[in-house]
């Protein structure tokens, strides 16, 4: 039984060697136009993805600038409110001091 298996394995090995030799002798296949089309399509898809990523990055940058502008406007308003409040408090203090001096 073992001899039979060994002989079958040797026969299979011989067949595989013959197939390898035939493959080595056969001319290489020229790349199919479909492959060129697939490569072009892949390149186009990659460029579209890159463009989408760039657009996403640009949109994100624009959103950040808009938020910063909004924060600056809010900060400016808050500073103006504090300034007005400080002026009002200063006027009140001056009135209190003037009242204290003249009484």
Ranges of each domain in the chain = 49-103
H or E stretch at 31:
none
Query: Tokens 């400080």 correspond to what residue?
Result: 86
Phi-psi region of 66 (alpha: psi -120 to 50; beta: other; left: phi over 0): alpha
Average pLDDT across the chain, whole number: 81
DSSP 26: S
Q: Rounded CA gap, 42 and 35, in Å? A: 10
User: How high is the pLDDT of residue 84?
Assistant: 92
Q: What is the pLDDT of residues 4-39, one digit of tens each?
A: 677 777 777 788 777 777 777 776 655 555 677 777
Could you tell me which residue, 29 or 92, shows the higher pLDDT?
A: 92
Measured CA distances, 20 to 14, 16, 24, 31, 78 (Å): 10, 6, 6, 21, 82
- Residue 67's pLDDT band, with cuts at 50, 70 and 90, is confident
Q: Say how far residue 75 (Cα) sits from the centre of its chain.
A: 31
DSSP 28: P
């Amino acid at each position: 039984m073992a001899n039979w298996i060994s002989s079958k394995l040797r026969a299979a090995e011989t067949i595989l060697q013959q197939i390898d030799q035939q493959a080595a002798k056969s001319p290489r296949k020229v790349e199919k136009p479909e492959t060129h089309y697939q490569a072009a399509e892949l390149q186009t898809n990659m460029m579209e993805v890159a463009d989408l990523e760039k657009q996403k990055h640009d949109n994100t940058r624009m959103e950040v600038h808009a938020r910063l502008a909004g924060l600056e406007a809010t900060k400016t308003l808050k500073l103006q409110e504090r300034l007005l409040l400080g002026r009002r408090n200063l006027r009140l203090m001056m009135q209190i001091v003037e009242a204290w001096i003249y009484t």
